[in-house]
Structure 1
Amino acid sequence: MSDPITNLSKLCIHTITTKPWPIETAAANFAVKGAKGMTVWRDALNGRNIKATGEMVRSHGLEIVSLCRGGFFPNADPVKRKIAIDDNRRAIEEAHELGTKMIVLVCGSDPTQPLETSRDQIQEGIATIIPDAAAAGIQLAIEPLHPMYADNRSAINTLAQANTMTEVLNSPWVGVAIDVYHLWWDPDLEQEIIRCGKNKALLAFHVCDWKSPTTDFLNDRGLMGEGCIPIKKIRGWVEATGFNGFNEVEIFSTAYWQTDQSIFLDNIITAYKNFT
């Protein structure tokens, strides 16, 4: 079990968590409440000067932990695979302009073809953009998604699969993002976190909770402590690898997005201190 959290020095909040707020409002409010990091979703940059937006976020004392998201490589149509590569190259450019050193990859899947084919296309796609990432100084974090998303969101569904892919790609620019929402159920999770740590591939750690019963597998995530994920235990495994990065709060919730976001942010801070 990990030690209790006594301060907010490792708290990062994703812009998608407080989706109704524009990034300017989110940055100001996150900073006032004591958060030290922000992960920026690409939709939050729409219509904005990306470099200036990055400077704005940092002016509030926030580190931009990562850009979310790249990926979605697989497709039975080679033209669409090329479009995905181009989009990932744009994401690398955006990350560089924003001033972050990491992109989280939601790798994608195509339900019209075998999962093995989608995984091969993911590996090929990542290999293709590694030179671009290296030139920009951007690490690519493969995020395994829960198997319920295997049809069209990600053919990478376990930490073992992500670890194996990083080992095959064998690049300092490729690693893994661990999200408790997607991986808490895995009986091999502790051993795979150890493996990830030995490979020095653990780049990011995302937290929220799995509500039971859940009403929507995408947009009904809970605050930490609201569900059944042993978050403190998993954080302990992650920190035992030597990981010293942020604990990133990433909550997709239609219900919470419909509430007063200032109150929601207060609840995030409380839940972070007590249950992360």
Structure 2
Amino acid sequence: MIVEPLHLSRCSINTATLGHREPIGVTIDRIAKAGFGGLAPWRHEVEAAGVSKIARQIRALELKVSGYCRSTYFPAPTREARLANIQSNVRALNDAAELGAECFVMVVGGLPEGNRDLPAARTQVQDGIGALLEAARKLGVRLAIEPLHPMYAGERSVINTLDQANALARELDPHNDGFLGIAVDVYHCWWDARLDALLSSTGKDNRIYAYHVSDWLVPTTDLLLDRGMMGDGVIDLQGFRQRVEHAGYAGMVEVEIFSRDNWWKRPPDEVLQTCAARLQSVC
């Protein structure tokens, strides 16, 4: 299989890849200096530094914002808490608009504490995203549902497959006006036997809003914080990108690696240099 090498101008670094060890302004400068075309910042970093200041820095460096991370979880044990979560997300949407983000990434949340009603949690997610859509349209910010691997269903996301995410998007946005789509993360989707058909279907609907890369290590020592650098694991990354691009996606390729015991301990510039090399050789 032959795929065209990626140009770094089309590549983005999710700031979690550097472990949130430095002020966001320093991280942004590093990403720009390393030659990447974009970044995906996290809310706690941006809010701490001030969204207007960060937006000015990003524009001055001519970087794109491939996505804004991430939504407050939607499910909650009370109606008041669910409404508060929606309002938190509306505030984040305003920041995403100021940053010029390509999308607002939604990790939707798992079961509320002490609750075992999975269908009810999924209904809360559907209602929460539905309530957020009007604000998204007004602000001109696209919402990207990110399905997470089923191992996260209990605490992080009750939307676990591309099939579920597509069904939810179609239910809430049947006319497909361009504001509700999917963030495709290889770490969460690579195992799915229906991957080709699901990517093709999502692409036909023009709902692939983001594409995230890392690798699945064997063995994996931590369910959250042991993602691999591209090329160090078992995912066919070039094959995956070929499928995504065949489905019509031409946006940024975003590196998102949570690696507490490896990459988060290495010098940030080394991490960025390795990301650049791997993006151009194995992705």
Per the normalisation by structure 2, the TM-score is 0.94
Equivalent position amino acid for 2:134 in 1: P
Shift of 1:178: 0.3
Cα displacement string for residues 58-96 of structure 1 (whole angstroms, at most 9, x for unaligned residues): 212211122110141112322211111111111111112
Which residue matches 2:252? 246
**Backbone CA RMSD of aligned residues:** 1.3
Instruction: State the identity %.
Output: 37
Q: Verify the 8 A CA contact 2:104 2:143 in the aligned structure 1.
A: yes
**1:104 alignment partner, SS class:** strand
**2:13 alignment partner, SS class:** strand
Q: Verify the 8 A CA contact 2:147 2:188 in the aligned structure 1.
A: yes
Residues 37 and 251 of structure 1: CA distance in aligned 2, closer, same or farther (over 3 Å): same
Structure 2: distance between partners of 1:42 and 1:168: 28
**Number of aligned positions between the proteins:** 276
2:47 corresponds to 1:46: yes
Of the structure 1 ranges 203-212 and 66-75, higher mean CA displacement relative to structure 2 is found in 66-75
**1:121 alignment partner, SS class:** helix
Residues 134 and 2 of structure 1: CA distance in aligned 2, closer, same or farther (over 3 Å): farther
Cα displacement string for residues 27-56 of structure 1 (whole angstroms, at most 9, x for unaligned residues): 212112210011111121132221221110
Matched ranges for 1:74-93 at <5 A: 74-93=75-94
Which residue matches 1:124? 127
Work out which of the residue numbers 155, 164, 189 in structure 2 matches 1:152: 155
Q: Would you tell me which structure has more strand in proportion to its own residues?
A: 1
Per the normalisation by structure 1, the TM-score is 0.96
Work out which of the residue numbers 205, 224, 227 in structure 2 matches 1:221: 227
Equivalent position amino acid for 1:43 in 2: H
Which residue matches 1:5? 5
2:165 corresponds to 1:162: yes
2:181 corresponds to 1:175: yes
**1:4 alignment partner, SS class:** coil
Matched ranges for 1:55-66 at <5 A: 55-66=56-67
2:282 corresponds to 1:275: yes
Work out which of the residue numbers 209, 212, 218 in structure 2 matches 1:206: 212
Q: Verify the 8 A CA contact 1:103 1:141 in the aligned structure 2.
A: yes
Structure 1: distance between partners of 2:6 and 2:125: 40
Q: Verify the 8 A CA contact 1:76 1:110 in the aligned structure 2.
A: no
Structure 1: distance between partners of 2:2 and 2:230: 15
Which residue matches 1:233? 239
Shift of 1:212: 0.7
2:246 corresponds to 1:263: no
Structure 1: distance between partners of 2:196 and 2:2: 14
Structure 2: distance between partners of 1:205 and 1:6: 13
Q: Verify the 8 A CA contact 2:102 2:209 in the aligned structure 1.
A: no
Equivalent position amino acid for 1:213 in 2: P
Which residue matches 2:110? 109
Which residue matches 1:186? 192
Q: Verify the 8 A CA contact 1:24 1:57 in the aligned structure 2.
A: no
**1:253 alignment partner, SS class:** coil
Q: Verify the 8 A CA contact 2:237 2:282 in the aligned structure 1.
A: yes
Shift of 1:2: 5.7
Which residue matches 2:98? 97
Q: Which runs of 5+ in 1 are unaligned?
A: none
**1:69 alignment partner, SS class:** coil
**1:211 alignment partner, SS class:** coil
**1:67 alignment partner, SS class:** coil
Structure 2: distance between partners of 1:84 and 1:6: 38
Structure 2: distance between partners of 1:71 and 1:188: 29
Structure 2: distance between partners of 1:265 and 1:101: 22
